[in-house]
Amino acid sequence: MGNKANYAWLDSVYWQTEDRKTLKKINQLFKDISRNGNRGIGKPEPLTGNLSGFWSRRLDKQNRLVYKIDDGAVMILSCRYH
């Protein structure tokens, strides 16, 4: 993943300053993913193409949390935009 993980961190920092409600939703989704894998809240959907193996969950109409579960570890790719 390398540098791509930095995008998720920058997205998180953005939400900390711009919309705490969305940040709270991100935290809820992360907890749900940790507990339930690729099932649960936020309408989980498997991604295709160059993001095959990743999943997305809705934060709101425009933004998605994109993640992958690898050996039990949750890796967040992004939590902003669609």
CA distances from 54 to 19, 38, 43, 47, 70 (A): 25, 10, 14, 6, 10
Asked whether the beta carbons of 66 and 51 are under 8 A apart, the reply is yes
Catalytic residue list: 45, 82
